[in-house]
Chain A
Amino acid sequence: MGTGSLEAFATIQLIYLIAALGHYMPLSMKQLDVGIAGYFALGAYVSALLTRDWGVPFELALLAGTLAGALGAVVVDALATRVRLAGFAYAIFSLSFAEALRIILNNVSAVGGSGGLVGIPAHTTLPLVAGLALVILVGFWLFDRARLGQLKTAIGDDELIVPVMGVPLVATKLTIFAMGGGLGGLAGGLYSHYVLFIRPDDFGFALLISLQLPIVFGGLDRFYGAVAGILILGCVPEMVRGLADYRLLFMGAATLAVLAVRPSGLITHATVATVKRWLGLPSGGAPRRAVTGVPAPTVATAAGPLVVDGICVRFGGIAALDGVGMTIPTTPGISAVIGPNGAGKTTFFNVLTGLIRPQAGQIRLEGRDLVGLRPDQVFKARIARTFQGVRLFSHLCVYRNVMLAARSATPDGALARARAERALAAAGLDQAAWGLPPDRLTLLDRRLVEIARGLAARPVVLLLDEPAAGLNSAEKERLGALLGHLAEAFACRIVIVEHDMKLVMSIAETVWVMNFGRVLSHGTPEEIRNDPAVIEAYLGSEAAHA
């Protein structure tokens, strides 16, 4: 292989690397946008037409190509999100975009039709591509440590609860899609100004294969998986004499073989953890220095209670909530919502946090109606929650889980860190655990992390959905005592949905009893215990009359 062809080979592989990193963006967020060949084509055509026909400087044209790729991704993903496509429908949809674009390019004579574009000025050089690739790789390294990168991980882990952490989900996803599409467009622009002749069929399914197989082969857990994939699958067949014609065959066979043994690809979260342990590196994510002098929370309770009135939710013909009304105080303390299974307690929490929009009713806090707000807007109105079972982002460490919510509540990074640290410390989580992935903790500790995540947002109302489920009696006692302390320390009203009556009766000041979607009764634990209607709901009418 002469120096000329070596240079060509390196340039093309680096361009592929940039495009593959673009494709990595949606895939690592577990979003099946596979339209990368289309975004690549957009960048290639837009930039080539600008330099060739309009005399636009290369740098500007490259930027325009990048934007074209980003715009393509935003349009595809906004449409797919609007239609609520998920899983494979999403994949087919984005794949169809790339195919439709190819057909259109083949038919538009103004851009050369199926004959393609010739005479594109040569601007792309190896140093330029290498420099850009280096900048992008550093960018990815920083991105993983930035909030947006962690949001990407969180969306991949558990998309549904991300908005409840105060994150505008659609806008965040579209931003990340745009970054991926933009990298595709950039790679396309570099490509067209290197090969100098492009045809629509250059951007077909084969291009997708050349980009997608390597990054899935390398592993989607870390961006350097994509780098490893391009290095191995892209470069090996070109370097071995006589293997060039077998490039795609090699790619397909190698990917099949690796995925059969390692479905997450070569480099996984576990691989990274193992290597870090060998090298004696900290697992990262948590602050290294000991927490000192965390400021006490500025107590700012809401003016007036959270007033819920006439909330109705129907699923088909079933009324899950049928005119629920409650006046929840926002003074520090604990309240409870109890009721038999199916009474509508969790649905009620989902309505309160904006996950379900009620057909009728109002939720007023500080003179504002919260009904109709998105979950992230409700979060900003300072209502936070936990979920039945535990729902932590499994690929973010404990500290980053808490930071995610803290940072949504305030634009001040230092304040968010202080709040996250204080919430974790107050929940009794040892600092040694802050850098661990959540699944390394016990059930109680995971619950506490989830509670700390809620508290770090400094809510006026914190909703806990069955915080004691699955805990043993000693743990329940510890949790009960802690909740009372936390409500005081963070000056918030904690509302628990709970089945453990002993716990409820010992910690709650006021209790609402729900059944069949209505509030049956409301009062102090003592009043509830003696209410015949409540006894009937739990034990049946005979017990009540006995």
Chain B
Amino acid sequence: MQIFLQQFVNGLTIGAGYALVAVGFTLIFGVLRVVYLAHSAVLVVGAYLGLFALDWSGSIPLALALGTVGAALMGLVVERVALRPVAGQNHLISLVTTVSIATVIQETLRLSVQHGQPISYPTGAAAVLLRFHLGGIELHLTVGQLAVMVVTLVLVVALTLLVQRTWMGRSIRAVADNPTIAAMLGVRVKAVSAQTVAVASALAGAAGVLLGLTLPAIDPYVGEHLQFKALAVVLFGGLGSVPGAVLGGLLLGLVEALAAGYLETSYRDLFAFAAMVLILTFRPAGLLGRRPVERV
């Protein structure tokens, strides 16, 4: 029971991270309908900015703020440079332009910050171990892990409110539903696309800082494997579905942590892909996907 609960909590933290990245991905897929692979690069920009902020001030909230805002701005640059010029081209072109800009961003970081060597976040507040007593069971949680859960919860709630309750959110949903009709009704599709990438990138930036707080070290390519898993989550959660991405991310984190706690296996990185193949075989639209994946 002790192990189970502890792994459950650990799994929630890992899953929260997946969810945060996957939510942004699914938002971009749903609204812009492009293959977007620059998310890991934007995340890393957030992680490095958080690192600088933390080195400079020691304040975790400031690091989060800087990472989030900086990544959102980076997202705007990515949209302008890699997506807008090739709007309307087939999926391969956006895949290649986003991979290209991601390469440029990551290589620039590698060449300019300590030759790409892994850098640790300053150990301090984030590593402090908290103990919780729950009916005789003691659970351990670092401040960093707690931050991951709290920040993810806050951001997902904020995103849901933004999408469901604001005018911008309404425009985003309209474009996701049908860009042509949205444009005819006066929605500025290009602006909405840019806003969507910025919002998704902000989430990735926050995820980057949180990753820095929980991982031993970060490097320019630290987001790459996370990006692959988040893509699998997006696909089996249901392409374009925000609740699907959150659910998928949390489930994946839990399964990975529980498996690691009991099975002592290093294969847990495979779960994301196995789940994707299994779920898509039986539910091609994913767990919470509504429409068919894409009309041929």
Contact = CB atoms under 8 A, between A and B. Distances in A.
B104 A93 contact: no
Interface stretch (B58-66, B167-175, B196-204, B272-280): B272-280
A305 B82 CA distance: 58
Interface stretch (B133-141, B146-154, B182-190, B263-271): B263-271
Interface stretch (A244-252, A274-282, A324-332, A440-448): A244-252
A107 B232 CA distance: 20
Interface string B98-124: 011111100110010000000000000
A259 B228 contact: no
A32 interface: yes
Nearest to A79: B277
Contacts of A408: none
Contact of B232 (A92, A213, A248): A92
Q: Tell which of A30, A106, A252, A260 has the most Cβ of chain B within 10 Å.
A: A252
Q: Tell which of B81, B102, B232, B281 has the most Cβ of chain A within 10 Å.
A: B232
A143 interface: no
Contacts of A260: 81, 85-86, 97
A27 interface: yes
Given A30-B92, A249-B103, A253-B104, A263 B270 contact: no
Q: Helix, strand, loop or mixed for chain B's interface?
A: helix
B284 interface: yes
Nearest to B95: A91
B294 A255 contact: no
Interface residues of A, number: 46
A278 to B, nearest CB: 28
Contacts of A107: 266-267
Nearest to A216: B96
A85 interface: yes
B96 A259 contact: yes
A209 B99 contact: yes
A108 B232 CA distance: 23
A16 B177 CA distance: 41
Contacts of A220: 92
B231 A92 contact: yes
B158 to A, nearest CB: 27
A141 interface: no
A88 B29 contact: yes
A259 B296 contact: no
A88 B91 contact: yes
B235 A93 contact: yes
A538 interface: no
B115 to A, nearest CB: 9
A249 B107 CA distance: 6
A89 interface: yes
B44 to A, nearest CB: 13
A249 B92 contact: no
Nearest to B266: A107
B100 A255 contact: yes
B228 A95 contact: yes
Interface string A31-58: 0101000000000000000000000000
Given A87-B294, A213-B99, A252-B107, A103 B269 contact: yes
Given A91-B35, A205-B224, A256 B107 contact: no
B294 A253 contact: no
Nearest to B292: A84
Nearest to A257: B100
B35 A32 contact: yes
A84 B104 CA distance: 34
A83 B96 contact: no
Given A84-B293, A89-B293, A245-B111, A263 B228 contact: no
Contact of B103 (A27, A84, A89, A209): A209
Contacts of A205: 224
Contacts of B95: 32, 34, 88, 91
Given A103-B270, A248-B107, A159 B296 contact: yes
A245 B281 CA distance: 43
Given A83-B280, A213-B99, A88 B270 contact: no
Contacts of A104: 267, 270
Contact of B100 (A27, A204, A253): A253
A170 interface: no
Q: Which 8 residue pairs across A and B have the least CB separation, nearest first?
A: A252-B103, A249-B107, A88-B35, A252-B104, A100-B273, A260-B85, A252-B100, A255-B100
Given A83-B280, A87-B91, A252-B102, 15 more contacts: A32-B91, A87-B294, A88-B34, A88-B91, A91-B91, A92-B231, A93-B235, A96-B228, A100-B273, A216-B92, A246-B107, A251-B100, A252-B99, A253-B100, A260-B81
17 contacts: A79-B277, A88-B35, A88-B91, A88-B95, A88-B239, A103-B270, A107-B267, A212-B96, A246-B111, A248-B103, A249-B107, A249-B108, A251-B100, A252-B103, A256-B82, A260-B81, A260-B86
